[in-house]
């Protein structure tokens, strides 16, 4: 059966290669701003991932497994999306400095052959060390924070700020592989 990743994320593509050697990439045109955050991160990311998966389903004409994901960072119940600019990245990193925050990923897997849809979420706790302004500004200069929720990438330079995690590392990267593998078993 054809496997489709509904994401342009290089990180998700690299992670999915651990489960599938061959898959197709179809970037979803789902309007994420149509989903309103109502204070429950688990539901929010599931709704985002389901919207992405269903948007891609419309373009599929053969039996396929469609995989969609969305990842957010939450601090004090505020969702920290991708920073708008360097100032926004600085403010996010300053908030996370020395603090515990949560990373949530929603995963939706659709089997178009049997019309099964499973949407679930994964939570990981992340504790940052204390960061000074120089460390934050040097990190921002790398450009890495600009396309990542919460303004950091644990798999890149931002990983040096992570004091500890409780939960799935790959969730923080953007695709919780263990949960995805379990969902695929259930949906096939």
- Give the CATH number, domain containing residue 33: 3.90.950.10
Domain that holds residue 119: 2-187
**Mean pLDDT, residues 83-104 taken together:** 98
Active site residue 70: yes
Residue whose token pair is 């919460």: 150
Q: What residues are paired with 103 via a beta bridge?
A: 73, 124
Q: Which of 29, 31, 70, 88 is catalytic?
A: 70
pLDDT at residue 188 above 90? no
Work out the mean pLDDT of the chain and round it to a whole number: 96
Cα-only R_g, the chain: 17
Q: pLDDT of 150-169, one tens digit each?
A: 999 999 999 999 999 999 99
Domains contained in the chain, number = 1
Alpha helices in 18-176 (DSSP H): 41-57, 86-96, 133-141, 169-173
* Rama region for 143: left / alpha / beta (φ>0; ψ in -120 to 50; rest): left
Residue percentage of the chain with pLDDT more than 70: 100
- At residue 58, the pLDDT reads 92
CA-nearest of 158, 183, 161, 188 to 11 is 158
**Mean pLDDT, residues 52-65 taken together:** 95
**Mean pLDDT, residues 82-105 taken together:** 98
pTM for this model (two decimals): 0.94
- At residue 133, the pLDDT reads 98
**Mean pLDDT, residues 103-115 taken together:** 97
Residues in Cβ contact with 39 at an 8 Å cutoff, skipping those fewer than 6 apart = 77
pLDDT at residue 12 above 90? yes
- At residue 135, the pLDDT reads 97
């Amino acid at each position: 059966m054809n496997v489709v990743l509904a994401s342009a994320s290089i990180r998700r593509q690299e992670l999915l290669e651990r489960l599938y050697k061959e898959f197709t990439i179809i970037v979803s045109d789902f309007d994420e701003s149509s989903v309103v955050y109502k204070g429950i991160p688990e539901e929010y990311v599931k709704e985002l991932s389901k919207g992405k998966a269903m948007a891609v389903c419309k373009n599929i004409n053969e039996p396929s497994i469609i995989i969609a994901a969305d990842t957010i960072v939450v601090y004090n119940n505020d969702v920290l999306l991708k920073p708008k600019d360097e100032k926004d990245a600085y403010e996010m990193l300053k908030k996370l400095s020395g603090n515990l925050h949560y990373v949530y990923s929603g995963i939706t897997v659709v089997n178009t052959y049997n019309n099964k849809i499973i949407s679930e979420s994964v939570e990981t706790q992340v504790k940052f060390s204390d960061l000074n302004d120089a460390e934050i500004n040097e990190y921002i200069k790398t450009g890495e924070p600009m396309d990542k929720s919460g303004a950091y990438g644990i798999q890149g330079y931002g990983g040096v700020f992570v004091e500890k995690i409780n939960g799935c590392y790959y969730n923080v990267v953007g695709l919780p592989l263990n949960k995805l593998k379990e969902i695929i078993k259930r949906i096939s």
